[in-house]
Amino acid sequence: MTFIKLSELPFKQKAIIKSFGESELYVKLLEMGCIPEEEISVELTAPLGDPIAIKVAGYQLSLRKDEADSILVDII
C-alpha cells in the first residue's frame, strides 16, 4: 500500500487520511476534524497552488501547501 501527500492528490479525488508528519501540526489538524481514517478531498487550489481548500468531516478547510505536504493519504 503506497501513500501520497495530500498536496499531490488529484483535484476532487477522494482519499483516506493515514498519517501526519509534524507533531505540532498533528494537534491542529485533529482539532479541525482531520483525523486518521477520515475521508478527504482537494476542492479548490489557489492560482499559484497555495493555499488549497480541502473537504473533510463535512466542511471545507484551507491549508497551506506545506501543511498539506505533511498529511499522507490513501486514494480510494
Residue 21 has pLDDT above 80, yes or no: no
Residue 23 has pLDDT above 70, yes or no: no
**What average pLDDT does range 9-32 have in this prediction?**
85
Sign of the four-CA dihedral 49, 18, 3, 66: positive
Query: 4-75 maps to which CATH number?
Result: 2.30.30.90
Q: What is the mean pLDDT of the chain?
A: 89
What does the domain layout of the chain look like in residue ranges? 4-75
What DSSP letter does each residue of 6-63 carry, written as one string? GGGSPTT-EEEEEEES-HHHHHHHHHTT--TT-EEEEEEE-TTS-SEEEEETTEEEEE
**What average pLDDT does range 23-48 have in this prediction?**
86
**What average pLDDT does range 53-61 have in this prediction?**
91
Can you give the pTM of this predicted structure? 0.86
Cα(52)–Cα(68) distance, integer angstroms = 8
